[in-house]
Structure 1
Amino acid sequence: MQITEVRLRQLHGTLPTKGDLWEERLVRPIDVYPEYRDRNDHEGGVQTPDGFKIVTYFVEIHTDDGVSGLAGPIPEGVAFIIAKQLRRFLVGQDPIAGEKLWDQMHRGMVHGRQGDAMLAISAIDCALWDLRGKWMQQPVYRLIGGPTQTKIPAYASMLGFAVLDAGKVRDRAIEYKEKGYRAQKWFFRHGPMSGYEGLKKNVELVRTLREAVGEDYDLMFDCWQAMDVGYVVELADRIQEFKPRWLEECVMPDRIDSYTKLRDRIRIPLSGAEHEYTRWGFKRFLDTGALDVIQPDIYWCGGLSETLKIAAYATANDVITIPHGHSTFATAHFSATQSPIHTPYQEYLVKWNAVHQHFLVDPLDVVDGFIEVPERPGLAMKIDETKIEQEAIVLPA
């Protein structure tokens, strides 16, 4: 069996919404500059009166045996790299030889060890796993050692929900707890440049949530790389009494020394490395003991193949691995192969999942607080052709 084509499908569609999909954005590293700090801009599409307009890309890998693999959605820049640079490593090759293809793509993209180029390699890797599962007529989790669990506890990741209106925060927290989610993660809106006024609003968010959900319920808080050591120490001191399960991505990922300083100075567990890449990047975090929870994104860090290697090293350091929730399907297959004590939750980005799964038949949803692992061959993703309003194929130059 050989790969005959690597197809990039650009899909246009509209996600129905009641009001704006994105209510508020999270704090970002660039917010140190005032011209960016007050922008309420968002990603993933364009809000219109008719709904949320989405333009995104899926990659399909086709073979002469009639078996194909699917991955996505991916952004335009990542699709461009696949179309222009990665196709040459794939066409004519054996799609079952995943380790060889990953190594050749990685070695061939010497300026692409991180960032969008690694996102492109990640998507190809996931599509190859989907293809192999279909070829063997098995769900991917069975090919990689599962199941250890067939239903995975999910936490609601509340990115895009309003955080400055205490009433809305309280109501949503109660609503998603009642839906069965085992925990919730919320996103701070303010960072160091917003001063003590912003700091107090961050603390008020934490207080409101703890009062809403009660004591025996996990709450996590995402700083999205936008803070520094002094600010996080002050924030942690003020919210310690509300017992957060963890603080996430307190600083930018290359600042590992800052994470180790925080480990020495605060009592709240730390998570992060969502924006890190490959086993070599994660090795730095694990060797320094910088984090209690690592969060590789399967569609960013190098694909399912690389995430399995990262998680194996994490277990040797007795560190929890809970992947960032870009792809619910790929992550569910990964989680189904891990010890539940090392992967106790799966992240479910409530609003992003509506966007990412819009073009899919049978989106993978949370039911009574759990994600049930698909039993269909491959990763179990399939494009819903009825939702495509316009399509284009990205061709090589």
Structure 2
Amino acid sequence: MKIEKVRLRHVFGTIETDGLFWEERLVMPLDVYEEFRDTSKRVKWGDQAEENAMKHDAYFVQIETDEGVIGIGGPMDKAVAFIVEIELSHYLIGRDPLAIEFLWDIMHRASVHGRQGNTMIAISAIDNALWDLKGRYFNVPVYSIIGGPTRDEVPAYASMLGFNVLDMGLVKERAAQKQKEGYTAQKWFFRHGPMSGAEGLKKNVEMVKTLRETLGDDDDIMLDCWQSMDVNYVIKLAEQIEEYHPRWLEETALPDRIDSYRKIREATNIPLSGAEHHYTRWGMKQFIEAEALDIIQPDIYWAGGLSETLKIAALATTFDLITIPHGHSTNAGIHFSVSQSPIHTPYQEYLVKWNIVHQHFLKDPVSPENGMIKAPTGVGMTMDLDPDKIEREEEPNFGS
């Protein structure tokens, strides 16, 4: 069997929403500048011209073989699709699609200036498409060919990016609703960083207090700083929220500031998680050797694909660390999670809003039931696109 074509599919559709989809953004590294802290400016992750509908388009990579077996990876944006088309696809044509380790290695070795960022995201999409293809070829779910399942289902935590975090009444209402849906853990995102001053710090603490009072003593609360804070601020924040027993503090600083993570970890009893925006086993090794994190969070669609995430997790287990991948790609994520030891991967993240977006075009989207994500029964990664969701499809146009 040989790869005949690496096809990019650019599809368009409409996501139905219940009012404004992206209600509020999270704190961001750019918030050190006042113009970017304006609460009236929302992140435009989708074109919501109508109150109850949001236009959406995405690129998927479809790897096609001479035996008719295909594999699909994505979604991705145009910049990443460009790299797949222009820089990487020619390394695949005529190759054995089941030789995933070989194909990953030659793409990585060819990308001497792309070991991180969009090139690694493009390699990740191709790698996941190859795993989808391999599962289809053997007519089994992918987890069955990476070691088999350790359990039938994995606890999910509701990741609440895009929900209003400024109105404590809404925070309380949404947190209680997710608890009612069966989630025993939730992650919420801070809106304020160091440059928002004492008032912003108070509001961050108020959100954590509201969550603990709403959810009671037994549920886990995770808190995401999204790379936007510094050592002094996080230590002060941690001191004021430690009484509410967060399960972890996430991405406290930009991923290059590994020494900052180590200093924060030494100064607080709250576990630290991160490395979502870092890449490959070599990048994660930097955090591990510095003893800077308690939970490693590679993204399966960013850090190098399923192939690399498995290596990262194996490395992490030698230090008895937890690996919980960043969770906007549930179809790929569940195959990793269900194949891992429950003590080293106790949760799978479920980004509530991003999964609506990223799974919109999929025929078989994966979602939690009563707070649990079940091991899929379909073949591959169940990545077939749903023609009923595709309003139109265009040939990708990357210019001359």
- Give, in whole Å, the separation in 2 of the partners of 1:326 and 1:354: 9
Q: Structure 1 pair 102/83, CA: closer, same or farther in 2 (3 Å)?
A: same
Amino acid at match of 2:127: D
> Could you say which residue in structure 2 is the equivalent of 1:238?
240
Displacement after TM superposition at 1:43 (Å): 4.5
The code of the aligned residue for 2:350 comes to Y
Query: CA shift at 1:69, angstroms?
Result: 0.1
Specify the alignment match of 1:63 in structure 2: 65
Question: AA paired with 1:46?
Answer: D
Residue 276 of structure 1: which of 250, 273, 278 is its match?
278
What is the CA distance between 1:44 and its match in structure 2?
3.4
The residue aligned with 1:254 is: 256
Verify the 8 A CA contact 1:26 1:188 in the aligned structure 2: yes
Instruction: Supply the distance in 2 between the matched residues of 1:346 and 1:174 (Cα, whole angstroms).
Output: 20
Question: What residue identity is the alignment partner of 1:42?
Answer: V
Aligned residue runs from structure 1 range 330-349, under 5 A: 330-349=332-351
Deviations 1:139-183 (A, max 9, x none): 100000020012110000000000010100001111001100120
Bigger shift: 225-234 or 359-368? 359-368
Structure 1, residues 16-39: CA drift from partner, whole Å, max 9, x if none? 012110100000001111111115
User: Are 1:48 and 2:35 counterparts?
Assistant: no
Deviations 1:290-325 (A, max 9, x none): 100000000000000000000000000000000001
State how far apart, in whole Å, the 2-side matches of 1:323 and 1:250 are.
Answer: 17
Q: Which residue of 2 aligns with 1:200?
A: 202
2:17 aligns to what? 17
1:28 paired with 2:28, answer yes
Distance 2:67 2:129 in 1: 16
Of 36-45 and 50-59, deviating more is: 36-45
Q: TM-score, normalised by structure 2?
A: 0.98
Aligned to 1:172: 174
Q: Aligned with 1:297: secondary structure?
A: coil
Confirm or deny: 8 A CA contact 1:155 1:184 kept in the other structure: yes
CA distance in 2, matches of 1:240, 1:40: 31
Partner of 2:7: 7
Please give the alpha-carbon distance, in whole angstroms, between the structure 2 residues aligned to 1:145 and 1:43. Answer: 40
Question: Which sits farther off after the overlay, 381-390 or 291-300?
Answer: 381-390
Distance in structure 2 (CA, Å) of the matches to 1:171 and 1:395: 44
Q: Aligned AA for 1:40?
A: K
Q: Secondary structure at the match of 1:262?
A: helix
Determine the structure 1 residue equivalent to 2:289: 287
TM-score by length of 1: 0.98
CA contact (8 A) 1:7 1:393 kept: no
The one-letter amino acid of 2:282's match is W
Q: 1:1-397 maps to which residues of 2 (within 5 A)?
A: 1-38=1-38, 40-49=41-50, 51-394=53-396
AA aligned opposite 2:3 = I
Tell me the SS of whatever aligns to 1:385.
coil
Percent identical among aligned pairs is 61
Q: Give 3-state SS (helix, strand or coil) of 1:339's partner.
A: coil
The secondary structure found in structure 2 opposite 1:387 is coil
SS of corresponding position for 2:203: helix
State the shift of 1:42 in Å: 2.2
Secondary structure (helix, strand or coil) at the match of 1:101 reads: helix
What are the ranges of 5 or more consecutive residues in structure 2 without an aligned counterpart? Answer: none
Partner SS for 1:394: coil
Gaps of 5+ in 1: none
CA distance in 1: counterparts of 2:42 and 2:163, whole angstroms = 14
1:44 and 1:355 in contact (8 A); partners too: no
Greater mean deviation of Cα atoms: 190-199 or 33-42: 33-42
2: CA distance between counterparts of 1:355 and 1:384? Answer: 14
SS in 1 for 2:135: helix
CA distance 1:382–1:44, shift in 2 (3 Å): farther
Q: Distance in 1 between matches of 2:159 and 2:317?
A: 24
- Which one-letter code corresponds to 2:26 in the other structure? L
- Write the distance in 1 (CA, Å) between the matches of 2:41 and 2:298: 27
- Runs (4+) off by over 2 Å: 39-44, 393-397
Kindly state the Cα deviation for residue 395 of structure 1 after the two structures are TM-superposed.
6.7
CA RMSD of aligned residues (A): 1.0
Determine the C-alpha separation between the residues in 2 that align with 1:193 and 1:48. 32
Measured in 2, the distance between the counterparts of 1:103 and 1:86 equals 12
**Most deviating of 62-71 and 46-55:** 46-55
Write the distance in 2 (CA, Å) between the matches of 1:107 and 1:33: 38
Specify the code of the residue in structure 2 equivalent to 1:141.
Answer: Y
Tell me the number of residue pairs that the alignment of Structure 1 and Structure 2 aligns.
Answer: 397
Alpha-carbon separation, structure 2, partners of 1:10 and 1:182: 37
Deviation at 1:376, TM superposition (A): 1.2
- Indicate the larger mover: 226-235 or 385-394: 385-394
